[in-house]
Structure 1
Amino acid sequence: MTSPYTELQSALSAHLPEDRLISDELRTLAYGTDASFYRLVPQLVVRVESEEEVQLVLAECARRGLPVTFRAAGTSLSGQAVTDSVLIQLGNGWKDYQILDDGQAIRLKPGIIGAQANKYLAPLQRKIGPDPASINACMIGGIAANNASGMCCGTAQNSYNTLRDVRVVFADGGLLDTSSPKSVAAFKASHGEWLQRLQALGEATRANTELADKIRHKYRLKNTTGYSLNALVDFTEPLEILKHLLIGSEGTLGFISEITYNTVPDYPHKAAALIYFPDMEAACRATTAMKPSPVAAVELLDRAALRAVQDMPGMPSDLKDLPEGAAALLVDVRGSDDQHLESNIAQVEATLEGIKTLRPVVFTTDIKTYELYWKIRKGTFPAVGAERVIGTTVIIEDVAFPLERLAEGVIELQALFRKYHYDEAILFGHALEGNLHFVFTQGFDDPAEVKRYQALMDEVAQLVAVKYGGSLKAEHGTGRNMAPYVELEWGSEAYALMKSIKQLFDPTNLLNPDVILSDNAQIHLQNLKPLPEADPLVDKCIECGFCEAVCPSRRLTLTPRQRIVIWRELQRRRQAGEPAADIDRLAEAYQYQGLDTCAADGLCSTQCPVGINTGDLVRSLRREQNFKHLDKAQWIASHFDGVTRMARGGIKLANLGRKILGDSGMSASMTGLRKLGVGAVGHWRPSMPQAAKPLQKSQPRVAAPADPQAPSVVYWPSCATRVFGVSSAAGQQEDIKAVTLNLLHKAGYRVIIPEGIDSLCCGMPFQSKGLFEVADKKQSELLAALHKASNQGEWPIVTDTSPCNMKLDEGNLLPELQLYEASEFVAEHLLPRLQIKPKNDRIALHVTCSTTRRGKGELLIKLAQACTETVVLPESVTCCGFAGDKGFQQPELNASSLQDLSREVAGCVAGYSNSRTCELGLEEHAGIRYQSILYLVDEVSQPVNRTIAE
C-alpha cells in the first residue's frame, strides 16, 4: 500500500522541483531538528518559495489529512517547530523588504534575519521593536509567530504592540493582506463569518468582566503562554483582533508571509552600569524603583549566574569577591545625543538613592567596558552549556512574575532548585518585566531523570502560574513544552476560548497540532532528543542553530548544527549496536552532505555560544579518510617548489586549452577525465586566471627606497599568489606581488623576501584535508624562515592572503614575530605614509571568513572606504565557499554561497578582497572583476614624500 506521504510527494513533484521535496533519511533528520530538546523526524520536508506554493502544499496535505508545521530558522526552544509529518521550510525567496514612512515602518518577508532588518533601518536610527537574544540567527517569521521579545523591548515594543499590518495564508488556502483594501474586501466576502465570529468572541470576552480583567493582568506581564487573548479585549474591530491573534500563534492559525512593523528609535549613545546588591530583595527593590525611569534594559543576575562566568577570560576580578546571596543588575541607558544620555543617567541614578549597593553606582560610556558588561550577561547561558555533563542537554525556562513579587518568586524558585538537586541552576532575566530565565542541565536517558524534571516543572507551574499569577512562558513561546500547563495557568474558561479560536481558524487541526493546545498531558515528556557522546570537539553543542546564518553550505547541504546532529546520530546507532547496513547507509550519505561540502571556514565558531568550530570535526574526519595519502602529502610538502612550478605549468596548459576549446570545451574535457577516474583535475572554472609570474619576474613600478636607514618589512607571498596570477581578461596587468612591492616601496619600506620562498607554505592546504602532521611541518619551516628573515622578529612580516596569515598566526610558536595580513598592515602602517585621493566609484568588498574570525573586518572596510566613495558589502555572503580547492572539487558550494551576489553588487564597477582563491569564485558569480584590495590602494595612492619613491 502506498504511503500518503509518498502520494503527497508525487503530487507536489508535478509543481515543485524535486530538490525542494526532501524525504531521505539523513536530511529529514537534519532539517527537522530545532533548538528545543524534542526530536520528531518529518516524513517530508518541503521548501517553499511563494505563497502559491504554500497554498498548494496546504491543499494537498488537507486532502490526505496530513498535518504541517512551518519552520523559519529553527531557533525556537519550546518544541513548536518540529513534526513527524510535513515540515514546510522557507526557501531563499523570502528576503524582500520595504522601508516605509522614512523608516517609521518596515515591511518584511518572513525569511529575513532579525538583525538584518535592523541593518536596513540603522541609517535612519530606527530598529524593529523585538530584540530576542537569537536576533542574529532567528527570522522575522519566527519572531512574529512566537511574539519573541528580548532584553530591551519589554512588552511595549514586542511584535504584538508594534504590528501595523500582516499578510497571511490560512489553513483553507485563504489569503489576507491587511494593508490592501482590495484584499480586505475580498476576505470579508469569502470569510465574513470568521470576522463575525471574532467580533462576537471579543464582545463576549469584554463583557465577562472577571475574564477580561484576568487577561489584562496577564498581559501586563510578558506572556506567550497560549493564544494572544488580549486581542479580544484590546480591539473591537474584528480585523484588528484577527491580526493580533496571529502574533504568538506559533504557526497554528496561519502562515505569516509578510509583516509590517512600526519601528522604534535606535539611540546611538549608550551607557551601562553593573550594580552589585547584597541580596536579591535589594536588587528587586531597585528594579521596581527604576521601572518608570528612562532605562533601556535592566538585566538581573543571581550569584550563581555571576559565578558561572567569573572565571571566563576578561571578566572583572571583583566578581569572585561577591558574597553568597549577592545579586547584580546590568542597567543600560540610551540617548539621542550626549546631553540626552546624561539626563537619562541622572534620572536613573536618582531613583537608586537610598538603596544599598555593594559598590558605588558608576555608569560608563567606554565601549569596551560597556561590551564587557553585556558579555557577562550574555555569557551566562553558554557557560552552563559548556560545563554540562556530556549526554545532558541545557534547558532554559522562561517565566514572569508580577514585578512587585519578583523577589519572593526568585527565592522560591531557588528553593525548588535545591529541593530537586539542580545545583548548577542559574537565574537571570529581564528584571523590568519580572521575566526570569532559569538554566539547568538535564539528562533524559534515565526514566528517573525524566521524573525529576517532571516533578520540578509541575511545582514551577504551580508556583508561577497559580500562586503568583505569572506567566509560564514569557517570551519563548508555548510549544509542546508548556502545552500541558496552559489550562492550569489560564483556567478552564480562557482555555475553552483558546480552543474556539483554534477551531475557527483551523477546524481540521491541520496546522501544527499539539503545539500551544494539546489533549496529551504527557506531550512535554515525549520525543525527547538524545544527545549521545559523539566527539569532544562538538559534544558541548546545544543545537541552538546560531551558527546557521553564517554557513556557506546552508542553502546547499548541511549547516554546522546539522552536521553535528547527523554525527551524533551515527554515534548513537553505533553505541546502540544497530545494524551495520543502517549505519553505513547514513554514513555514505554523510560523506557528501557533511564532509565534502563543508568549507571548514570556522565562521560557525564566531556565532556559537560555546565556541564550537564544526570545521575542526570535519577536518578530523577527513584525517581518518586521507591518512592513507600521508606519504603522498609528505612528498608534495618536500618538493613544494617543484609542485608550485607544475601547478603554474598546468594553468598555462589549461589556458591554452581554453583558447582552443573554449570554456564549455574545457568543462566537458575535465568532466570526461573525472569519469575516467582522474578526480584530481577537479572542475573547470571560467574564472581560471593566468599563471602567476615567478617572484623574480614580478618587477614593481616603484623602486625601493635608496635610504639605507629606511624601515624594513618582510614580505611573504603566499603559495596561492605564487600560483594564481591575474584574471585571464586582465592582459598585462601587474600581479599582486608587484602591487604589494609597489605599496611598500611607496611608503618608504625596504622589502625583504624570505630565503627559499618557493618551497614555503603555511600548511593550510594540508590541514584542510586533515593531514595535520604535514601541515605542522610546513608551518614550522615557514616560521623558521620568517624568524630569520625578520631578524628574529625585529621587522614586521606581511603576507598577501588573509587565510594564510590566520593559519600562521593561530599556530605561531614564536610570539616575537609581528604577523600582518597585507591590507591590515596597509591600514595600520602605510596609510599615514601615503597620500590618498579617493575614487568616485561604487565598489563591492568581500570580507573573508579569516578576516572576520581575526576581528579585522572593520579595518578592511575602513581601508576600502578611505579609497572610494561607496563600498557595498553583499548582505547574503558570509563566506564565498571557495574554501581552497573546494572551488575546483565542489564548485556547487561556491555557487550556492554566492547565488545572490550578482544582484547585490549590481552597479559596482569592481570588487575587492584579500584572498586570491576567494576572488576567483567571487569574480565568476558577481559579473565584475574581483582582485586584491591592494590594487585599489595602489591606484589611489602616492608617497607622502615623493623623494622616497625617487
Structure 2
Amino acid sequence: MHEQLVDELRASIKGRVLTGMLDRYMYASDASAYEMLPLCIVIARDVQDVVSTVKVAYKHGIPVTARGGGSGLAGQAIGSGIIIDLTHMNRLLALNLEDGYVTVEAGMYKGVLDRELKRHGKFIPVDPSSSDYCTIGGMIANNASGAHTVKYGSMIDYVEELDVVLADGSIIHARKVDLNYDDDSVEARLARELYSILAPKMGVIREGFPKVSKNSSGYRIDRVLLNEHTVDLAKLFVGSEGTLGIVVRASLRIIDIPRFRALALLAFDDTYNAALYVRDIMARLRAATVELLDRTVIDIARSIDSNFGYGYKDYECILFVELDGNSIDDVRSMMDKLISISSNAKGLKHITCSYDEDEISRLWEVRKRALAYTMKVRAGKSKPIAFIEDPVVQVDKLPDLVDALRRIYRMYGVQYTLYGHAGDGNLHTRPILDLSSDDGLRVMKALAYEVFNVVKKMKGSISAEHGDGLARSEFVRMLYGDEIYSLFVKIKQILDPKNIMNPEKKVTNHRDLLVKNLRYSKGVSRDDDNNTMLVWGSKSSAIARRITGYEDELAYVDEVGLCHGCGMCRELNYKVRMCPVYKGLQDEVASCRGRNNVLRWLLNIAHTVEKQEQDALMGSKEYEELIYKYCIQCKMCLIDCPSNVNVGKIMAEARARYAKINGLPKGYAYFAEIDRYAKLACRYSWLSNMLINSRLFRIALEHLAGIDARKRIPRFSSKMFDDLFHEYRQPALDKSVAFFADTYIRYIDPMLGLKIVRILNINGYRVEFPEQLSSGLPAILEGAVDKARRIVEFNTSSLYPYASKGIPIVTFSPSASLALRMEYLNVLDDHRSRAVAEHVQDVHELLYNLKSRAELVEFKPVDEDILVHMHCHTIVQGYDRHLISLLKSIPSLRFSILEKGCCGVGGSYSFIKDNYALSMQIGRELFDAVKASEKRVYTTGESCRLQIEEGSGRDVGLTIDLIAKAYNI
C-alpha cells in the first residue's frame, strides 16, 4: 500500500516526495526531545500540493503532519505518516498599509516578514526567540507569543483570516461568519455547527479556561464565538497544531512600530524577590516587556559576552524591562515611574537604564539567546529537557509559581534552569535529566504531574506559547476537565473523522505519551567512541574553549547527540553566517540539523541493523552527498549553534569513515594532494597557466580529477615564495617570528608573502621560514586522515622548535591558522601540536597585539572608503574584532563590514564539479552586494578573494594590502 501511496503522491503534486531512509531520518525529529520515523515527506510547492497530498492521505487513512521550521519544543512537527514541509510556500501575497494587514503563505519565515514590514514602519509584535527560523504557519498552529506579548498580545490577536486545508482535502476560508446573513457556504455550515456545540457551554468554558494572558493548550474555543450571531472560524485553528486542518495562507493584522524605547536591567539577590517586583510593577506600569533570566543563564551569557557580564556577576536574577512609545518624553516619564517603583523593591541590588538603540539591541540579543545559553549546560549524560518548560499563571501568582517550582525540584533533587516572560506570568524552566536512564524517565513523569497540578490549582495553563504536542497532550484533559475536553473531542471528530490530522496531539487517549518516542535512546552503542578516525574527547583547543566555555571536548557519540534540533541553522538572516549551505539551498538536507539527525539515527540503530545493510546505506551516493556536498567546513556552526555542535568535525569524521571503505570522491582526492600538484604547476608555470585556459584541458581535468571546468583557477607564479624569500635580504633585528606561508603564497602569489615579511620587518621582527608542507586542511577535513597525519607530523616537527622557544608562528591564510590552532589537534594531539597551536597568530592579530602594547609602528594615511568582508575562519578564530580595531588605526581609512554571509568558496569545495553551482548560489547575496556598491571590497582571506572576484566580476583586495599601503609598501 505504501508504494501505491507514494506513486499517487508523485503523480498528483508539483513538489517532491522523499522516501529515502536518509530523508526520513532527517525529518524524524524537531526541536523537541522526541523522534518518530515518517513514512515519507512531501515538499509542497503550492496550496494545490497540500490539497492533493491530504486527499491521498485521506483516501488511504494515513496520518498527515504539517511542518514549518521544525522549531517547536513539544514534538508537534513529527509523525509516523506523511510530513508536509511547507517552507517552500513562502511568498508575501499582499501588503495593505492603509487597512493594516499582510497576507502571506504559511511557509514564510517570521524573520523575513519582519524585515519586509520594517521597511514600512510596521510589525507584528509577536516575537518568539525563534522568529528568524520559524514560519508564520507554525506560529499560527502554536499560537506563538514572545517577549512583547505582555503589552501587544499573542498570535491569536493578529490572525484575521486563514485558508485551511481540511482532512478530506477540501479548502475553506476561515473568517468571521455572521450567522444571520452568511450563505450556505462550507464556512457558514461549519460555523453553525460550532455555534450549536459551544453556545450552550459558554458558561462552562468561561469558568474552566485558564485565567491567563496567553494560552496554547487545548483548542481556543473561548475565542470562537464573538457574540450571539458571529463565529470567528480563524480563531479555532490558531493553536490547533494542525490537528483540525493545515493553514496554507494567512491574513494578519499589522501595526506601527513604536518610535522610541528604553530598557532597564534590574539585578536581584533572589528570583522570588524578582517575581514579587514583577507583580508590583505590572499593577502600576504598562511595560512592553518584562523578561527574567536566572543565575544559570546569566553565568553562561557572561562567559560569552564580557560586556554583558560587567556588573552582573554576583546576582541571582536579572529582569529586562522595556518601555516604548511614540514620544520620547512619554518613555522617559515611564522610566522615571519605574525607578520610583524600584526604590523600595525587596532584594533589588542594581539597576541600569539605557535609551541607546545599539546598546538596547545588544542587550536584547542576550535575552533572545536565553534558550541557546540554556542548551549549553552540560552535566554528563544529563541535559536540560523541555516538557514542563512553559507554565503560565496570572502575574500576581508568579511568586507562588517560582516558590512551587523550587520546592518540587528540591523534592526530586534536580538541577534546573529558569528564564521567561515574567510580565505574563510565563516561566521557561528545564530540569536537567538523563533520559537514557530509567530513573530519569521516572523523574520526568513525576515532575510533569507535580508541576501541572500546581499550575491547574493556580488556574494557569500548562503551555503559554509552546503548545501541547507529544509532551503535554496527555495532560490536556487534566487541565480542562472532562466537560471542556469533551468539546475538544467533538470538534476533532467533526473536522477530522478519520483522525489523520497530526494524531495524538491535543486529543489523545494515551497516558504515557510524555515518555514515548524519546530521541535519547538507552540503546546507543559506545563502540563508535572506540573506533573513531579523528581525536575525540581530549582537551579543547583554545578556539573551542573560548567559544564553548568548556575545557574538554565531548566524545564522538556525545557530540553527535548534542544537537537539540532548534533549527537555528535554517536562519535566513545573513548577519548570522550559519549555515551558508542552507541559505543557498533552503532544504533540510542542507541544514546542520538535518545532517546531524542522520548521523545520530545511524548511531541509534547500529546495534539493531545488520552491518551489511548499514554499510550499504553509508556507502550510497545519497550518503556521500549528505556528508560532502552539504558542508563547506566554514565552522560557523561552532559559533552560531546554540549548543556549539561542531558539525564540521562530525562531518570530517563521517568522511574519514566513508573514505576508509569507499575511497575519497573525485576532486577531494586531488586537493588532499594539493601541495604536490601546486608545486609541480608552479615549477612549470608556463605550461600550467596555458593549460588552465584551455577548454579541452579543463573538460579533461573535470572528467579525470573532478575539478569543475567552469571554476576560475588562479595563475601560478613562475617563482616560488621559498626562492624569493631566500633571495630577500632582511635587516638585522632582535625579535623573530616563524612564517607559515601555505599554498596560495608559496605557489600563486609569493609577492604577497614578501609584503608580509616587510610589514613584520618594519615592526621589528626578523622572519624565519621553516621547512613546511601545505597546511593539510583539505586532507584533514575531507577524509584523507592518513595523509593528513603525515602532513601534520611534518609541519609540527618543523614548527615545534620555534614554539618551544616562545617564538610566534605567523600565518596569513585564515584557514591555515585554523588548521594549526585547532584541526591539527583532531589528527595528532601531543605536546608538540599543543605548543604549536598556542603560538600561532594571524599577521593581523600580531599587529593588533603590538598596537594594544603601544609597540606598533604608526600607520600612514590611506584615503579610501571601503567594504570589508570577513572570511568565516577569521570569525571562528575571534580575531575579526582585532582586525576591525587595527583598521580603525589607519588614518583617513573609512570602512564598513559587509554582512552578507559566506562567499561559498569553502576552500577546495567550490572547485569540485558537483559543488560549483551550489557554491556560487551560496555567495549570491554577497556577490550582488559587491556588484551594487561603488566601494572597493577587501577580504581577509585569499580563497574568499578568488570567489568574490569570480562571482561579482570585480577586483577584490586583501586586508593585508591595506596594512601594506599604510606602510608605503
Q: Structure 2 length as normaliser, TM-score?
A: 0.77
Q: How does 1:527-926 map to 2 (within 5 A)?
A: 527-531=517-521, 532=524, 535-549=557-571, 550-554=578-582, 555=585, 557=589, 559-574=591-606, 576=607, 578-589=609-620, 591-597=623-629, 598-623=631-656, 643-648=677-682, 656-657=690-691, 660-661=694-695, 666-667=698-699, 669-670=700-701, 672-673=703-704, 680-692=705-717, 694=719, 718-720=742-744, 722-723=746-747, 754-756=767-769, 759=772, 761-768=774-781, 769=783, 770=785, 773-774=789-790, 776-777=792-793, 780=796, 799=812, 801-808=813-820, 813=836, 819-820=842-843, 833-836=860-863, 838=865, 847-854=870-877, 874=900, 878-889=901-912, 891-896=913-918, 898-899=920-921, 902=924, 909=931, 913-918=939-944, 920=946, 926=951
Against the structure 1 CA distance between its residues 880 and 486, is the aligned structure 2 distance closer, same or farther, given a 3 Å change threshold?
same
Asked if the contact 1:30/1:562 (under 8 Å) is kept, the reply is: yes
Q: How does 1:202-217 map to 2 (within 5 A)?
A: 202=195, 205=198, 208=201, 210-211=203-204, 213-214=206-207
Say whether 1:76 aligns with 2:72.
Answer: yes
Asked if the contact 1:199/1:236 (under 8 Å) is kept, the reply is: no
Q: Deviations over 1:263-291 (max 9, x none)?
A: 452667543313214561x3222101221
What is the number of residues matched between the two proteins? 885
* Offset of residue 204 of structure 1: 6.9
For 1:763 and 1:267, how far apart are their aligned partners in 2? Answer: 53
For 1:308 and 1:552, how far apart are their aligned partners in 2? Answer: 26
The aligned residue for residue 517 of structure 1 is 507
Q: Deviations over 1:825-878 (max 9, x none)?
A: 89x999974443559xxx9x86542244345778999989x999999855xxx4
Say whether 1:42 aligns with 2:38.
Answer: yes
State the SS of the aligned residue for 1:537: helix
* Offset of residue 17 of structure 1: 7.4
State the SS of the aligned residue for 2:48: helix
Against the structure 1 CA distance between its residues 601 and 942, is the aligned structure 2 distance closer, same or farther, given a 3 Å change threshold?
closer
State the SS of the aligned residue for 1:909: helix
* Offset of residue 50 of structure 1: 1.9
Asked if the contact 1:28/1:45 (under 8 Å) is kept, the reply is: yes
State the SS of the aligned residue for 1:331: strand
Structure 2 unmatched runs, 5+: 527-555, 572-577, 823-833
For 2:359 and 2:67, how far apart are their aligned partners in 1? Answer: 37
* Offset of residue 168 of structure 1: 4.1
The aligned residue for residue 468 of structure 1 is 458
For 2:361 and 2:745, how far apart are their aligned partners in 1? Answer: 41
State the SS of the aligned residue for 1:404: helix
The aligned residue for residue 529 of structure 2 is none
Against the structure 1 CA distance between its residues 138 and 370, is the aligned structure 2 distance closer, same or farther, given a 3 Å change threshold?
closer
Q: Deviations over 1:340-379 (max 9, x none)?
A: 6543322211222322225243435687798579648845
Asked if the contact 1:278/1:356 (under 8 Å) is kept, the reply is: no
The aligned residue for residue 423 of structure 1 is 414
Asked if the contact 1:746/1:834 (under 8 Å) is kept, the reply is: no
Q: Structure 1 length as normaliser, TM-score?
A: 0.78
Against the structure 1 CA distance between its residues 307 and 903, is the aligned structure 2 distance closer, same or farther, given a 3 Å change threshold?
closer
Asked if the contact 2:637/2:645 (under 8 Å) is kept, the reply is: yes
Against the structure 1 CA distance between its residues 639 and 31, is the aligned structure 2 distance closer, same or farther, given a 3 Å change threshold?
closer
For 1:870 and 1:369, how far apart are their aligned partners in 2? Answer: 21
Against the structure 1 CA distance between its residues 851 and 418, is the aligned structure 2 distance closer, same or farther, given a 3 Å change threshold?
same
Asked if the contact 1:301/1:329 (under 8 Å) is kept, the reply is: yes
The aligned residue for residue 486 of structure 2 is 496
For 2:471 and 2:795, how far apart are their aligned partners in 1? Answer: 50
- Paired amino acid for 1:547: C
Asked if the contact 1:805/1:820 (under 8 Å) is kept, the reply is: no
Q: Deviations over 1:381-433 (max 9, x none)?
A: 744663234276723521101111222222223222233x2421233321111
Asked if the contact 2:164/2:173 (under 8 Å) is kept, the reply is: yes
Decide which of 384, 387, 390 is 2:381's aligned counterpart.
390
* Offset of residue 618 of structure 1: 2.5
Aligned-CA RMSD value: 5.2
For 2:5 and 2:46, how far apart are their aligned partners in 1? Answer: 18
Against the structure 1 CA distance between its residues 135 and 247, is the aligned structure 2 distance closer, same or farther, given a 3 Å change threshold?
same
Asked if the contact 1:739/1:934 (under 8 Å) is kept, the reply is: no
Against the structure 1 CA distance between its residues 87 and 904, is the aligned structure 2 distance closer, same or farther, given a 3 Å change threshold?
farther
Decide which of 152, 158, 161 is 2:157's aligned counterpart.
161
- Paired amino acid for 1:645: K
The aligned residue for residue 542 of structure 2 is none
Asked if the contact 1:713/1:749 (under 8 Å) is kept, the reply is: no
The aligned residue for residue 468 of structure 2 is 478
Decide which of 409, 430, 433 is 2:401's aligned counterpart.
409
The aligned residue for residue 953 of structure 2 is 929
Asked if the contact 2:123/2:254 (under 8 Å) is kept, the reply is: no
Q: Deviations over 1:138-170 (max 9, x none)?
A: 233322321222223337242222335544444
Asked if the contact 1:913/1:931 (under 8 Å) is kept, the reply is: no
Asked if the contact 2:143/2:238 (under 8 Å) is kept, the reply is: yes
The aligned residue for residue 273 of structure 1 is 265
- Paired amino acid for 1:142: G
Asked if the contact 2:162/2:250 (under 8 Å) is kept, the reply is: yes
* Offset of residue 80 of structure 1: 0.7
The aligned residue for residue 8 of structure 2 is 11
Asked if the contact 2:89/2:108 (under 8 Å) is kept, the reply is: no
Calculate percent identity across the aligned residue pairs: 21
- Paired amino acid for 2:213: L
- Paired amino acid for 2:217: T
State the SS of the aligned residue for 2:338: helix
Against the structure 1 CA distance between its residues 104 and 937, is the aligned structure 2 distance closer, same or farther, given a 3 Å change threshold?
farther
Q: Deviations over 1:149-198 (max 9, x none)?
A: 2223337242222335544444444456789x9xx99xx99971323432
* Offset of residue 81 of structure 1: 0.6
Asked if the contact 1:165/1:261 (under 8 Å) is kept, the reply is: no
State the SS of the aligned residue for 2:557: coil
